[in-house]
């Protein structure tokens, strides 16, 4: 809610809004021409660039009652930076398109810009332009660019039988934080609530994995089981996760799960928006930190579909988030 005397979006011109938020955004090391013209210019040193886009919709992906503008800015940056990293690329730039209701405090928008800068600035990523529009709720659409630095992209389709499966990042914490907020118990565990409000991602680990010989990789945004399933399907393999690899995750979430009457394994294996990286490596490769081996790649049976197993069996918990099934 706006404080008395604080301007709202409908009370400020578009040029005035831009004048307040553009100075808060990082220029980026690959930016040749920043925002201010009809388009920015970003270097693509090897003649290619990785591109991805994602959107956050108020009421669907965040609630202003739960998250500050800075939280939303950080979340919007992280989910796109993680997608670039999952290709083995180094993120270079973001462009951000915003739909803004007239009653939105300008200060909230400035905080969103600061959140983008929090995540992009330390990585040398520029926020180099975008668009503003009116809307009935806040929408944040981000397009991210990345540099492969001369390497081949790491796709979802390269996993081979005999590879090991490794994960970098946290598991289940964002889902647990969401459950706490939904139950109005956010003070029970501030760390888990923060993991939902502004998840972090091991973005720098993506290019490290590529240099170490990763054969396939994916950003875990919709749950470990669902995204591992996407990698398995693209590679036409089975992925068998080691149940014991997640014991520490279950232990971290156990107390909160008990209070809420939930199964921590469902959060660990099915919870989305942690934005870790799941990768496969040849068995002979030295798996780089912060990746930890959590399973193995098996050949899919000739008469069976690619799938994900846990300890050799089909998992009993939900696979994860689907944007339309809910």
Question: Is residue 316 in a domain?
Answer: no
**CB-based contacts of 219, cutoff 8 Å, min separation 6:** 79, 82, 83, 85, 86, 201, 227, 275, 276, 277
What pLDDT was estimated at residue 324?
46
For the chain, the domain total comes to: 2
Q: What is the CATH number of the domain that holds 291?
A: 3.90.650.10
* Position 225 in a domain: yes
pTM tops 0.85: yes
- Whole-Å CA distances, 215 to 49, 182, 246: 20, 38, 23
Print the domain residue range for 123.
Answer: 9-147
Same domain? For 66 and 174 the reply is: no
Segment (H or E) for 158: none
State whether 97 and 204 are in the same domain: no
User: pLDDT tens across 198-248, in order?
Assistant: 999 999 999 999 999 999 999 999 999 999 999 999 999 999 999 999 999
My answer on whether 300 and 192 are in the same domain is yes
Within this chain, do residues 268 and 298 fall inside the same structural domain, yes or no? Answer: yes
Q: Quick one: 104 and 216 in the same domain?
A: no
176 inside domain:
yes
pLDDT of amino acid 3: 61
**44-48, 135-139, 273-277: which range is least confident on average?**
44-48
> Does the residue 93 lie in any domain?
yes
What CATH number has the domain bearing residue 57?
A: 3.30.1330.10
Domain contains 234: yes
pLDDT of 5 > 80? The answer is no
Chain-wide mean pLDDT for the chain? 95
Tens digit of pLDDT for each residue in 47-103? 999 999 999 999 999 999 999 999 999 999 999 999 999 999 999 999 999 999 999
What pLDDT sits at residue 326?
A: 47
In a domain, 84, yes or no: yes
Burial 236-251, CB ≥16 within 10 A → b, else e: ebbbbbebebbeebbe
Domain membership of residue 178 (yes or no) is yes
Lowest mean pLDDT among 37-41, 180-184, 304-308: 304-308
pLDDT digits (tens, 9 = 90+) for 108-129: 999 999 999 999 999 999 999 9
Claim to verify: residue 87 and residue 18 sit in the same structural domain? yes
d(CA 2, CA 282): 54
Q: Are 114 and 231 part of one and the same domain?
A: no
Residue 280 lies in a domain: yes
What's the mean pLDDT in 274-296? Answer: 98
């Amino acid at each position: 809610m706006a404080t008395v005397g604080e301007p709202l979006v409908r009370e400020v011109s578009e040029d005035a809004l831009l004048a307040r938020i553009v100075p808060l955004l990082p220029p980026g090391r690959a930016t040749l021409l920043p925002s201010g013209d009809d388009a920015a210019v970003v270097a693509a040193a090897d003649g290619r660039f990785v591109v991805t886009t994602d959107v956050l919709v108020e009421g669907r992906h965040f609630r202003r009652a739960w998250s500050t503008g800075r939280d939303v800015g950080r979340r919007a940056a992280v989910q796109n930076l993680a997608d670039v990293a999952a290709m083995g690329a180094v993120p270079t730039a973001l462009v951000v398109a915003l739909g803004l209701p007239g009653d939105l405090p300008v200060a909230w928008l400035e905080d969103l810009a600061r959140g983008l800068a929090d995540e992009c600035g330390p990585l040398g990523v520029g926020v180099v332009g975008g668009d503003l529009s009116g809307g009935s709720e806040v929408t944040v659409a981000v397009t991210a660019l990345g540099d492969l630095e001369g390497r081949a992209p790491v796709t979802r389709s390269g996993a081979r039988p005999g590879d090991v499966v490794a994960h970098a990042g946290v598991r289940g914490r964002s889902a647990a934080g969401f459950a706490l907020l939904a139950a109005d118990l956010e003070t029970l565990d501030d760390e888990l609530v923060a993991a939902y409000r502004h998840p972090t991602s091991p973005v720098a680990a993506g290019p490290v994995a590529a240099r170490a010989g990763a054969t396939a990789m994916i950003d875990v945004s919709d749950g470990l089981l669902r995204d591992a399933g996407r990698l398995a399907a693209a590679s036409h393999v089975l992925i068998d996760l080691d149940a014991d690899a997640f014991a520490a995750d279950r232990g971290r979430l156990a107390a909160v799960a008990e209070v809420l009457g939930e199964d921590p394994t469902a959060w660990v294996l099915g919870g989305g928006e942690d934005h870790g990286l799941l990768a496969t490596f040849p068995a002979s490769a030295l798996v780089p930190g912060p990746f930890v081996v959590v399973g193995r790649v098996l050949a899919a049976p000739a008469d069976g579909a690619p799938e994900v197993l846990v300890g050799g069996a089909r998992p009993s918990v939900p696979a994860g988030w689907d944007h339309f099934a809910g």
